[in-house]
Amino acid sequence: MSPFASRILDKAPGMEALAVSLARNTHRLRGRDCFPTETIRLCAQFENEWPDFPKNTLAYYVALAFGCLTTAFIMTQRHAAIRRIESSNHSSRDRWLREIRSGEAFATVGISHLTTSRRHLSTPPVQAYRAVHANKAGQAARVDQADRVDNVRADGERWILHGSIPWVTGAFSSDYIVVGAVERAPTENSEISRNSDAVMPTPAHARELLFLLPTSTAGVKPGQGMELLALSSSCTDEVHLDGVELSDAHLLHGPCDNVMAASQSKSPTSNSGAGGAQTSALALGLAACAIDWLDTESKNRPNLKPYAENLVNAWEGLYEKLVSIEDGNPPSDSNALRKQCNDLALQSTQAALAAAKGAGFLENHPVSKWCKEAMFFLVWSCPQWVAEAHLCSFSSMDTNLQ
């Protein structure tokens, strides 16, 4: 192991064996047929045994991404689901958490449409209707207790979910999805409520909800995984909901005005929303791969040494800023830190490509893989202010985030 790699893993004591194992297996993740189920269980087991988790979560993410960005990304989505469940007061919360944390079940999130994805659409991608039925007099009435017991379950009112959840990681391989939805006016009978083409009235002020959706529920249709520029083995895809029936037994949060804020954990590193610290940690983990390669290469090519040293110093500076968040010292401008970590991922991987020359342009070369993975940070959980800062940089315009 190189000196720089040792320095990275020394920052997360106890993680060396896991990171090395991930690094050995990452080259096998070559498409959507390679979802790393066993690796996820290995990481879950490690988390249960590692005394520094979740205290040093950001160091953990950096080390994971240094070993395998695909696995690290999947784990962020799993942890986002866990945090949303943790922040609920649901009576089944502890049972769900035991199942997920043990690795017995895999949970992921479908919440990007509440923060960054498809926000321009006039119709929310996922809508939830509180089901009602017509009574004998022909008047709309909420499901009464007898009907609930006979036809639904004795665990609350029915909710009918329609739409398409974008960007669900591990869509086809998940057991649970923490899904966000926008509340719509109730339907008058079950036949209408199951008609996905029905035009439903929209309340003047629509509220939001979070459900824990078992993927075995009727009407849940996950995609097999999209072919992406990188990280295709994360099996990220849409999940279509065709009249999916849930009850209050699956309602984690809401209805409320901003369910993402209402379900947020109080931990300083728990921001699973757009631009969270975990995203920056993964960018630094990927940057470390390219910097480590360049630093190792410079031992035999002295002309590369000053470039490698500059990148190492830049990495160390950003790492210290990032982990200070866990000590309760967040940076004065978290948006700038996110962009700087993205920039380092892009710059270091391209520097490695320039040093690798033609060999690095081959599909099976690690530098080629890292260059493609670096592009991921321009689109994943990238809030508008960070995206615009990148556009300013790329077009040589001034920006106050530089």
Angle at 134 between CA 250 and CA 206, to 5 degrees: 50
CATH fold match for the domains 107-262 and 277-394: no
Query: Kind and range of the H or E element at 236?
Result: none
Provide the residue-wise pLDDT of the chain in tens; the chain has 402 residues.
Answer: 899 999 999 999 999 999 999 999 999 998 888 999 999 999 999 999 998 887 889 999 999 999 999 999 999 999 999 999 999 988 899 999 999 999 999 999 999 888 766 554 557 889 998 886 434 334 343 333 333 323 333 345 889 999 999 999 999 999 999 999 999 876 544 444 445 444 444 444 678 999 999 999 999 999 999 999 999 999 999 999 999 999 999 999 988 888 888 777 655 445 444 458 999 999 999 999 999 999 999 999 999 999 999 999 999 999 999 999 988 887 778 889 999 999 999 999 999 999 999 999 999 999 999 999 999 999 998 888 888 999 999 997 655 554
Residue ranges of the domains in the chain?
3-101, 107-262, 277-394
Question: Per-residue pLDDT tens for 349-361?
Answer: 999 999 999 999 9
- Identity of the amino acid at 274: A
Question: Per-residue pLDDT tens for 25-52?
Answer: 999 998 888 999 999 999 999 999 998 8
Give dist(CA 175, CA 108) in Å, integer: 8
Burial of 357 by CB count in 10 Å (0-12 exposed, 13-18 middle, 19+ buried)?
A: exposed
> Which CATH code, of 3.90.420.10, 1.20.140.10, 3.30.70.270, 3.90.550.10, is assigned to 277-394?
1.20.140.10
- Identity of the amino acid at 167: W
The CATH class given to the 107-262 domain equals mainly beta
Burial of 76 by CB count in 10 Å (0-12 exposed, 13-18 middle, 19+ buried)?
A: buried
CA 191 vs CA 154, 156, 164, 344: distances in Å: 21, 20, 20, 54
CB 220 within 8 A of CB 245: no
Q: How many residues comprise the chain?
A: 402
- 362-390 per-residue burial string, b: 16 or more CB within 10 A, e: under 16: eeebbbbbbbebbebbeebbbbebbeebb
